[in-house]
């Protein structure tokens, strides 16, 4: 049961839990009709204007949990979706004059506006929303700070201007611009933006007793508690029905080795390159800087590398489910340029995995007896700057002396600025490491733990890892053959 003390995360997790439970029990058909009343009984609203709106929001969240678009009822094309009933029609007029305006004679705001949108009324300045182009010059010019910027939180967070508002105040997402980073999800205070889930498809694979493998991102360490290790997670997912778990740090070591050789070759040719690990960053290049696509590393992501390794080890019928904090990975798993078997089949976030654990009443237990999978350099891939450090380590281990200079972009805004410089031919560095989430994957929107606490616990666990070389990982799997490159 939900009440006024619950947060957006509580509501989302409660819906995911009930949907997962119904799917495991084979009782999914009636959940849209019954669940809103089950978790919101009575007629008193808890956090909205009325209980009927609250129940509609729950119903639309159920649709997202089933990978259905709340607007159309069709399968979701974009991972990021608007929940129409939850959108609170935030103010559309971005710049507004407050009572701080002194109607001064300097008229700096009027002089700054190039569109004639500002006039003087009897008491203060006035911005005509029909003429305003939201350039912000008046906001910058006012000496009294009398003009406020009330841009919608979702629009402010979007690094590629993919959020649009209609005449009715409801927002929509331009799929052609959206890079699936999820920044808007975390920014909306009403929970009106969320990610669709493929959880039901994963559960169907598990119920059919297929050879399903969990590919767990290194960012999982510390996510489920200070004493919950990767071996603890392995035991948990096997109880769910997974055949086994593979640490994606293994794939990250393969990526470091491949990308090091690719960087060295590009450096000798004088060609600038970007990393390819972050799918939101790759989306940004493909959708907003298409002329730079040839500069993206052809080395696949750690997720894809691990999936190829698993299929090489266990056969093409192996079903690979990536589990991590990233929602952009959900779109990467289904990219058109990847042939069947060249990437993970489906993606779960830590939120969705936790809902499945709850649905099956699985408690993760501390487990310290585990063999380290992947190097410490690979385990830090999920930190901003971690890819660069790992690739440079691989260069040293391969005996390659290349003085590469890398711009490490921490967040989508830094990525965008670096790509503009590359496009203009003014990027001073040789390579760009792009991470769309500030802080790296460890700050992804699919986490279940509070970021600061989670990072602290993760650093404790990584502090116990041994100083294994990247090439040690490759040597352990040298009998398996698979390509580390994608077709451009």
Query: pLDDT (tens digit, 9 = 90+) per residue, 190-218?
Result: 999 999 999 999 999 999 978 999 999 99
Q: Which residues of 210-224 are buried (b: 16+ CB within 10 A; e: fewer)?
A: eebbbbbbbbbbbbb
Distance CA 473, CA 466 (A): 13
pLDDT at 427 (0 to 100): 96
- Percent of the chain residues topping a pLDDT of 70: 93
Which ranges of 90-242 would DSSP assign to H, the alpha helix? 108-112, 137-141, 153-157, 183-187, 199-207, 230-240
Which residue matches tokens 């409801």? 170
pLDDT at 189 over 70: yes
Q: How many CB atoms lie within 10 A of CB 30?
A: 9
Polymer length of the chain: 488
pLDDT at 457 over 70: no
Mean of all residue pLDDT scores within the chain: 91
pLDDT at 225 over 80: yes
- Percent of the chain residues topping a pLDDT of 90: 73
**Do 285 and 407 share a domain, yes or no?**
yes
Categorize the per-residue pLDDT at 451 as very low, low, confident or very high, splitting at 50, 70 and 90. Answer: low
Classify residue 352: in a domain, yes or no. yes
Distance CA 155, CA 175 (A): 14
**Do 143 and 267 share a domain, yes or no?**
no
Q: Is 242 helix (H, G, I), strand (E, B) or coil?
A: coil
Classify residue 73: in a domain, yes or no. no
The boundaries of the domain holding residue 46 are: 1-66
**Do 9 and 126 share a domain, yes or no?**
no
Q: Which bin fits 206, alpha (ψ -120 to 50), beta or left (φ > 0)?
A: alpha
E strand map for 14-115: 80-82, 95-97
Mean pLDDT of 325-351: 84
Q: Is 195 exposed, middle or buried (0-12, 13-18, 19+ CB in 10 A)?
A: buried
Range in 145-154, 177-186, 405-414 with the lowest mean pLDDT: 145-154
Range in 139-153, 305-319, 362-376, 430-444 with the lowest mean pLDDT: 362-376
Classify residue 20: in a domain, yes or no. yes
What is the CATH classification number for the domain harbouring 122?
3.30.70.20
Categorize the per-residue pLDDT at 245 as very low, low, confident or very high, splitting at 50, 70 and 90. Answer: very high
Which residue matches tokens 């997720």? 303
pLDDT at 166 (0 to 100): 76
Classify residue 454: in a domain, yes or no. yes
**Do 470 and 398 share a domain, yes or no?**
yes
pLDDT at 226 (0 to 100): 79
Categorize the per-residue pLDDT at 488 as very low, low, confident or very high, splitting at 50, 70 and 90. Answer: low
pLDDT at 221 (0 to 100): 85
Q: Which of 66, 83, 113 is the last residue of a domain?
A: 66
pTM for this model (two decimals): 0.91
**Do 340 and 297 share a domain, yes or no?**
yes
**Do 265 and 359 share a domain, yes or no?**
yes
Q: Is 357 exposed, middle or buried (0-12, 13-18, 19+ CB in 10 A)?
A: buried
Q: How many domains does the chain have?
A: 3
pLDDT at 413 (0 to 100): 95
Bridge-partner residues for 214, per DSSP?
A: 245, 321
Classify residue 418: in a domain, yes or no. yes
Q: At what angle do helices 350-359 and 230-240 cross, to 10 degrees?
A: 50
Mean pLDDT of 469-482: 94
Classify residue 159: in a domain, yes or no. no
pLDDT in tens, 265-300: 999 999 999 999 999 999 999 999 999 999 999 999
pLDDT at 12 (0 to 100): 95
Termini Cα distance of the chain? 49
Distance CA 14, CA 191 (A): 14
pLDDT at 85 over 70: yes
Distance CA 284, CA 308 (A): 25
**Do 225 and 290 share a domain, yes or no?**
yes
Categorize the per-residue pLDDT at 4 as very low, low, confident or very high, splitting at 50, 70 and 90. Answer: confident
Classify residue 186: in a domain, yes or no. no
pLDDT at 124 over 90: yes
Mean pLDDT of 107-116: 95
pLDDT at 84 (0 to 100): 93
Q: How many CA atoms lie within 13 A of 480 on its CB side?
A: 20
**Do 204 and 141 share a domain, yes or no?**
no
Q: At what angle do helices 31-39 and 8-25 cross, to 10 degrees?
A: 140
**Do 330 and 469 share a domain, yes or no?**
yes
Distance CA 89, CA 169 (A): 5
**Do 133 and 43 share a domain, yes or no?**
no
pLDDT in tens, 11-24: 999 999 999 999 99
Classify residue 458: in a domain, yes or no. yes
pLDDT at 228 (0 to 100): 87
pLDDT at 211 (0 to 100): 95
**Do 234 and 334 share a domain, yes or no?**
yes
Q: Which bin fits 233, alpha (ψ -120 to 50), beta or left (φ > 0)?
A: alpha
**Do 311 and 207 share a domain, yes or no?**
yes
């Amino acid at each position: 049961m939900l009440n006024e003390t619950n947060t957006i995360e509580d509501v989302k997790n409660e819906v995911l839990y009930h949907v997962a439970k119904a799917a495991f029990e084979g009782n999914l058909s009636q959940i849209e009709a019954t669940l809103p009343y089950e978790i919101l009984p009575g007629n008193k609203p808890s956090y909205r204007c009325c209980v009927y709106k609250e129940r509609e929001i729950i119903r639309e969240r159920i649709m997202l949990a089933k990978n259905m678009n709340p607007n159309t009822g069709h399968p979701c094309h974009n991972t990021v979706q608007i929940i129409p009933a939850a959108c609170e029609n935030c103010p559309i007029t971005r710049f507004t004059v407050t009572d701080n305006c002194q109607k001064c004679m300097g008229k700096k705001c009027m002089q700054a506006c190039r569109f004639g949108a500002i006039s003087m009324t009897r008491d203060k300045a006035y911005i005509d929303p029909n003429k305003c182009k939201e350039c912000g010059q008046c906001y910058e010019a006012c000496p009294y700070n009398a003009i406020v910027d009330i841009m919608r939180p979702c629009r402010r967070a979007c690094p590629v201007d993919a959020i649009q508002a209609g005449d009715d105040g409801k927002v929509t997402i331009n799929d052609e611009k959206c890079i699936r980073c999820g920044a808007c999800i975390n920014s909306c205070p009403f929970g009106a933006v969320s990610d669709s889930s493929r959880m039901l498809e994963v559960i169907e694979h598990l119920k059919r007793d297929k050879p399903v493998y969990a590919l767990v991102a290194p960012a999982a360490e510390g996510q489920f508690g200070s004493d919950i290790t990767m071996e603890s997670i392995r035991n948990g997912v096997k109880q769910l029905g997974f055949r086994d778990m593979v640490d994606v740090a293994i794939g990250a070591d393969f990526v470091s080795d491949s990308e090091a050789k690719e960087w060295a070759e590009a450096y000798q040719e004088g060609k600038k390159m970007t990393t390819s690990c972050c799918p939101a960053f790759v989306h940004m290049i493909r959708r907003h800087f298409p002329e730079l696509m040839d500069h993206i590393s052809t080395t696949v992501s750690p997720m894809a590398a691990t999936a190829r390794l698993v299929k090489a080890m266990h056969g093409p019928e192996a079903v690979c489910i990536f589990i991590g904090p990233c929602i952009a990975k959900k779109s990467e798993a289904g990219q058109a340029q990847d042939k069947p078997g060249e990437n993970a089949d489906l993606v779960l976030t830590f939120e969705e995995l936790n809902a499945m654990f709850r649905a099956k009443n699985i408690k993760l237990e501390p487990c310290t007896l585990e063999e380290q999978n992947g190097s410490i350099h690979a385990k830090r891939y999920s930190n901003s700057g971690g890819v660069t450090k790992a690739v440079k380590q691989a260069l040293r281990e391969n005996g390659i002396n290349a003085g590469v200079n890398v711009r490490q972009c921490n967040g989508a805004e830094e990525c965008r600025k670096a790509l503009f410089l590359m496009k203009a031919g003014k990027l001073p560095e040789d390579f760009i490491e792009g991470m769309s989430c500030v802080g790296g994957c460890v700050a992804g929107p699919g986490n279940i733990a509070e970021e600061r606490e989670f990072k602290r616990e993760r650093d404790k666990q990584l502090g116990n890892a041994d100083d294994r070389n990247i090439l040690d990982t490759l040597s352990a799997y040298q009998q398996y053959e698979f390509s580390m490159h994608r077709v451009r």
